Each structure stands twice: as C-alpha cells, then as structure tokens.
Structure 1
C-alpha cells in the first residue's frame, strides 16, 4: 500500500476500518483478494513475485496488518521481504511474527500498521527503527517517512474521520480513493500506478467485510472482489 488510513476503536459499530490504495508497477504479478489455501487463515491479495502481501486479515484471530514502502530509499534485493513480514505478523508465526526494533533494519524502507485485539501499533524503519503503540482514533500513513508532512495521508485521514463522524461503514471511501479530481490519492500511469483500492471493515460482533477494487494501466477497472465472513469462523 502507498496510502492507508485506519480507524481503530473510533467507531461504535465498526471498531476497525482500514482503507487504502496500493501503488505498484503494472507488470508485477499479483493475485486478487482471496482466502489463502495454505492453512495460514490469511485473507489478502498476494504478490506473486515475492509471495507476500501488502494488506491482510487473519480470519481466526482478527489480526490486521498493512505495509507501505517509503519513497527515496533505493531497494536492496538482499534485504528481507516486506511482504513476508506482513505474512509472519498476520499468522503469528515465523521469524518476524513479533518483530523487535532491532529486526526492522533487515527490511527495505517501510511503514506498517498492525492491529490485534484492542491494540494498534506503528512500525517503521524511517527515519529510525520505531515500534510505537497508537491511541484509539484515526491514523494514516503513506510512502513518506513518518516524521515528514504528507498531503496524501492527511487527505485520506480527514476523509476517514468524516466517515466515522457520520457513522458510515467506509465503503463510499472507495470512490474517494479513485476520484479523478484527486490525483493525490489515485495514480494513473502506463508503467506504475494504483493497482488496487481496499476496504477492511470489522464490526463489533466480529463480522468482516473486505472489498478490493483492482485497476489496470491508466486506472482502467480490472475487477472487484467482495468477501464477508466472521472472525473465528
């Protein structure tokens, strides 16, 4: 993901609302949002090049994790996969299921939200490795260091705050994420651009709605997946 907003314990009916856009090279292969068939209990899209994911939910526990890259840092192919970090944290198993600040430099530049139970954490390794608990409320990240101003993140955070204040479930924000009059959020390009807009909404009763809208070059629609299930089922 390259811009994402999170409302955690801020909405009386939907204690988790997570929405964002994934920007990526169009040539990089990816599988649509689905329940993985590997016994991991992960529901997510999948990067078919590296095998990880950028955003997902663990259907047994309700854990949610989303990662963004950080612009301006040259990727090092020798470093660990950021998508694999998301997978380990979602499963609660693996080398990086519970990363420490000392683990974070192993990865190329990233920002990450992790939600489990009543707790939300921010993890980042730019400008310095940091793991920080977040208060209940609305938070946003984009592909900028967390100490830098970011209009994309601010724009989406304000939109999600308005949705929470109005009692909405976040689905209309999918239209905001691809609005033609707001190029700050949706990137149209031949080589690189927004590949998917995703909403995760978890109700107080544990009912989940996940919607992924996918896009091809120049922002052409390429399909939608909508899933509903209950945490623990």
Structure 2
C-alpha cells in the first residue's frame, strides 16, 4: 500500500483544537479505495480504506480518539515479504494486535515508512528510515512527507508553515484543505493522469473530544470526485 505523501500535525499547538492533522494522499488512480467512513464491525475505526490491501493510511479510533497517519519513503524498493504498513496503522488505531505497541526492533519488519501516532494527548513519530526510531513529539507543528526524517523536505516544510500560520492567525482550519490543492504550489497537489493526489484530509479534535473529519477526493488530472464530512465524539 502506498500512502499519504505530505502531512502536517499540530499537536497541542492551537487554542481550540489540540489536534489538527492535514495532508494529501498520493496514489495510482487505478488502485481501488473506499471513501472516508465508519468501518463495519467493532474496530471503532473511522477512515478511508485501501481496497487492494485492506488497510488505511489515515484514521481515527472513535472510542479512544487515537489518530494515526503513515507515509511511505521515497527510493526504498518495496519487499512483498514485509509486513503491511496498513496493518501497523490498523493495530495502532485499535490499540490491539501484534503491532499495537511496537518497539524499535519491530519497525524493520515493514517497508520504509514515516508515521505520526497521537494517543491520549501524547504524540509520537515512528520511522524505519534512515534507522528505526520511536520518538515522542513536543507540543508544536510537525510535518512529514516521503523523505527520510533526517532529509530536508520543502513540501513538508511548506505545509508545516501553512498550518503554523493558520493557528497563529486564528484562521478557520478548514481553509487548509484549499492550501493542499493550491494551483500556485504544485508540490503539494499532484495532478497526474496515472498517479496523483487521490484525497485531501483534515482531522480536527477539540479538547472535549469532538472530532470533525473532512475528506476531499480527486480522480485523474486532479478533478474533484466527491467529499465526505463526518462529526462524532470520542469515548
């Protein structure tokens, strides 16, 4: 499963929203995916779904408010024998399963990835490039893309600054979705006919556990293909 290509996280950095997560998922347009929805069964997950591998790239666990997003890492050849990154996201969201509480020695079992995980007000970065690492994140605005975490990434830095400025100016966070597809910043939004941005997603979590998730979807050439907005409370 490929994954979201650029994402920014505001962790305990906004007066109204202790968690803001915003990013673009880039993928082959032919790869099937289900829109943002509440998953069937008792998983408690609210997310889009990759219908080829069965996992997800970004989601919220409705009972607990756990929030997880993953990106792949550019230049690393995928190994089909490795564990699914989508399974890692799934277990982290539920807080159950083999990978619900991974340590650094577990991370090489997956193809190259970067990941943000937020749980009970604490945020972590997990990555296995350039080396396996699990690192707590201080309150602030952080960003990831498809680069190893020790490599500067202009796309990630532009989105990080946009989220930081939105918080400082008191701007409606939903306007960040427009930033993600800005015509004057082609590095954030890919308009390819075969491979490109498939979805822009915004997650807002308030101090009292109110959650708002918005997903805008796109088809080949960056043409709009629908949107979903969900609201719920954790717990």
**Category of TM-score, reference length = shorter chain:** over 0.9
CA distance in 2 between counterparts of 1:103 and 1:57 reads 23
**SS in structure 2 at match of 1:102:** helix
TM-score (norm 1): 0.98
Partner of residue 71, structure 1: 74
Taking the aligned partners of 1:118 and 1:75, their CA distance within structure 2 comes to: 33
2:179 counterpart (176, 183, 189): 176
Runs of 4+ in 1 over 2 A off after TM superposition: none
* Correspondent of 1:32 among 35, 42, 50: 35
TM superposition shift of 1:166: 1.5
Residue 168 of structure 1 deviates from its aligned partner by 3.0
Q: Say which of 12, 16, 26 aligns to 1:13.
A: 16
Match of 2:170 among 167, 171, 177: 167
Deviation sequence 1:11-62 (CA, Å, 0-9, x none): 1110000000000111110000000012100000000000000000001000
| Alpha-carbon offset, residue 73 of structure 1 | 0.4
Match 1:127 to one of 130, 136, 144: 130
Structure 1 equivalent of residue 216 of structure 2? 213
Distance in 1 of aligned mates of 2:172 and 2:71 = 23
Secondary structure at the residue paired with 2:48?
A: strand
What are the Cα deviations for residues 69-106 of structure 1, in whole angstroms up to 9, with x where unaligned?
00000111110110110000000001001111011000
Q: Give the secondary-structure state (helix, strand or coil) at the position aligned to 2:230.
A: strand
2:83 to 72, 77, 80: 80
1:25-64 aligned at under 5 Å gives the runs 25-64=28-67
TM-score (norm 2): 0.98
Corresponding residue for residue 111 of structure 2 = 108
Q: CA deviation at 1:157?
A: 0.1
- Which whole-Å CA distance do the structure 1 matches of 2:41 and 2:77 have between them? 32
| SS of corresponding position for 1:34 | strand
- For residues 52 and 164 of structure 1, the distance between their equivalents in structure 2, rounded to whole angstroms, comes to 31
Is residue 2:190 matched to residue 1:187? yes
Which deviates more from structure 2 when the two are superposed, residues 161-170 or residues 52-61?
161-170
1:203 is matched with which residue: 200, 203, 206?
A: 206
Q: Whole-Å Cα distance in 1 between the matches of residues 73 and 173 of structure 2?
A: 25
**Secondary structure in structure 2 of the residue aligned to 1:73:** coil
| Gaps in structure 2 of 5+ consecutive residues | none
Number of paired residues? 232
**SS in structure 1 at match of 2:123:** strand
